[in-house]
Chains A and B, each alone.
Chain A
Amino acid sequence: MAEHLYGVLAEFESPERLLEATRQAMEAGYRDLDAFTPFPVEGLDRVVRLPRPTISFAGLGGAIAGAGAALLMQFYVNYDYPLNVGGRPVYAISAFAVVTFELTILFSALAMLIAMLWQNGLPRLNYPVFAAKRFHRASRDRFFLCVNAQDALFDERETRAFLSGIGALSVELVPK
């Protein structure tokens, strides 16, 4: 029925209005929702029941990989080229600490950045919502709620009417 549609996009004036509208949409039974806002709106993730982000695990993985790589590298080069400096130990953990620490942080930070972009499906050049006429204000001062066409309750006319009914400034159909 709605195969040519991505969803319906409703514009709200403030984060509070958006939160309230999202709450009402959830109560009405809509589940496949997304919001587009100029800054992170506190509490929105709880209303839409988004899962907790898992970037921290990527960061942890990166940290362990970084520390491991740094230690392996330093042990190996000292094994391959053991230089006696005044009788000091060749495998000197305390001397390896700095490079190990730096690489732990380096790998961890990069892993998180890559994981964030990967999970967000970025970079990408286009996305259906960009076609909406008023969407350019989503990065400026307006707060958008989108009901996806995939939603079980989605109906072109009814969903539009519902969103207008809960105080949207404008409601727009977004083609796929």
Chain B
Amino acid sequence: MSEESDILPTRQSMGGISDQLTGIPLYFPAERRWLIAMLFASALLLLLLVSAIELFARGVGIWGINIPVNWAFAIHNYVWWLGIGHAGTLISALLLLTGSEWRNSLNRFAETMTLFAVVCAGIYPILHLGRPWYVYWMFPYPATMGVWPQFRSPLEWDIWAVMTYLTVSLAFWYTGLIPDLAAARDRATRRGWQIFFGITALGWRGSARHWLRWSQTYRLMAGLAVPLVVSVHSEVSLLFAAGQIPGWHSTIFPPYFVLGAAFSGFAVVSIIAVALRSWFGLENLVTDDHLDVLGKVLLATGLMTAYGYVFEVFDALYSGEEHELQTLADRCTGAYAWTYWGAVIFNFIPLQALWWRLVRRTGWMLLLISVSVAIGMWLERYMILVTSLYRDFLVSSWSHFTPTFWDWSTYFGTIGLFLVPFLIAIRLIPMISISETKELLHEEKEEKHG
């Protein structure tokens, strides 16, 4: 095999990888930068707290929502965050099953991203309830009023889908983490770390029998996680498509949403990959080849999402239905045309640079394109919600939506809710899978010698 086919440089040793990756939590190398990032993230989290207190005290009227746009930032950001989360599972599970070697350097932090993105998504519907302390009404429990949740409604499906997704993602993440926690335990010298990793590693000792069962569990879980992702975001799209609102009531929605989710998620994975690799000097594990593949995947999912845009227009034109056509016209030229064209431009124009190999392999360029995609997908979710709702069937109820300060503060606050636990996770667990990178390194070396 030639040097070209190796995704990891083979001139490193297994022990070196182990020391490098366990060393990040054990002997944290970037204290000052971490503190600055944490300060910023905590400020955002504080903003969320203040916004939530204000919301609980005064009600959802502090947001810009009203009839007819009664679903705005809450659901829009819910979909956006959840979509970002999906790429973590796809990278980790789908690529494990297809045997793509480049996943091994990315899966851990991508899965960690999934967990916290789903948490950010999950709090939005609860905030939106108006009376969030009644959230348990969503669950089937023998209520004194004799009422049960309505299982024929997508809104009820949603809670089951998201809870399942969070739980299974957590189980998958932890299963993959156990051997690495053991590696960190075996290298820890300070008492506190020994206790922490000693307990969380569950007594893992790398026995041949254990590895055999672990591998089967890990693969089967991956096999379950892939259809789970598709089902969860399809279900999210049904929140829209199952309604009759023009611009929502379309069969393209489930694949359109799933692909858009993967697209935005891969963008955020790229952002984190570039940031972490320069932050912790992980160029030997997250190589230019990794960025290259990420760029290609981003480009591919982006083009598929673009197909969704084209088909959405086609769908409206082909239906010939008056309200559908009007919504299409509103999207392109109405009061919120900036969201539509903003989405098209941010999502698809910078993306075209990824056709060039040099751009894909240059960290900061990939980072900028990814930020553009994250913004573009955010605008797309905004567009799908607001442009469909603000002028629906009943002309007398047409109205506009303008986000208020509290809309924005809640949204930026959730970025803090994402960053704070992510930054804590960086200090507690190995952010790249140790056992899997070592296994890959061994395979590469073996191919070279054999």
Contacts and interface: CB of A to CB of B under 8 A. Distances in A.
Given A38-B434, A50-B208, 8 more contacts: A15-B442, A39-B211, A80-B146, A81-B147, A109-B172, A109-B224, A113-B174, A139-B186
B54 interface: no
Contacts of A127: 203, 205
B175 A38 contact: no
Interface stretch (B79-87, B157-165, B319-327, B359-367): B157-165
Given A39-B442, A81-B147, A109-B224, A55 B14 contact: no
B421 interface: no
Contacts of A138: 186, 205-206
Nearest to B231: A101
A141 B18 contact: yes
A55 B157 contact: no
Interface in B171-186: 171-172, 174-175, 179, 182-183, 185-186
Of B168, B179, B217, chain A has the most CB atoms within 10 Å of the CB of: B217
A75 B231 CA distance: 21
Contact of A45 (B157, B168, B186, B208): B208
B231 A55 contact: no
Contacts of B152: 78, 85, 88, 92, 95-96
Contacts of A109: 167-168, 171-172, 221, 224-225
Interface in B290-325: none
A112 B209 contact: no
A62 B204 CA distance: 24
Given A39-B442, A112-B217, A98 B14 contact: no
- Greatest chain B CB density within 10 A among A16, A36, A119, A120 is at A120
A120 B213 contact: yes
Interface string B16-30: 001100000000000
Nearest to A18: B208
Contacts of B13: 141
B205 A36 contact: yes
Main secondary structure of the interface of B (DSSP, over half): helix
A89 B220 CA distance: 36
Contact of A140 (B183, B211, B235): B183
Given A103-B160, A103-B164, A106-B167, A113 B221 contact: yes
Interface residues of chain A: helix, strand, loop or mixed (majority): helix
Interface in B1-37: 13-15, 18-19
A108 interface: yes
A11 B439 CA distance: 18
B212 A77 contact: no
Interface residues of A, number: 63
A7 interface: no
30 contacts: A35-B208, A37-B208, A39-B211, A39-B442, A40-B212, A44-B208, A50-B209, A53-B213, A77-B140, A80-B146, A80-B148, A81-B147, A85-B152, A96-B151, A98-B160, A98-B231, A102-B161, A103-B164, A109-B167, A109-B168, A109-B171, A115-B217, A116-B175, A120-B207, A122-B203, A123-B202, A124-B202, A136-B187, A139-B18, A140-B14
Interface of B: 13-15, 18-19, 140, 146-152, 154, 156-157, 160-161, 163-165, 167-168, 171-172, 174-175, 179, 182-183, 185-187, 198, 202-217, 220-221, 224-225, 227-228, 231-232, 235, 238, 434-436, 438-439, 442, 446
Nearest to B149: A77
Nearest to B185: A139
A172 interface: no
B215 A38 contact: no
B186 A136 contact: yes
Contacts of B205: 36, 127, 129-130, 138
A78 B438 CA distance: 52
A130 B204 CA distance: 10
Contacts of A77: 140, 148-149, 151
A14 to B, nearest CB: 8
B303 to A, nearest CB: 29
A37 B9 CA distance: 22
B439 A120 contact: no
Contacts of B206: 36-38, 138-139
B94 to A, nearest CB: 15
A59 B175 CA distance: 15
B216 A55 contact: yes
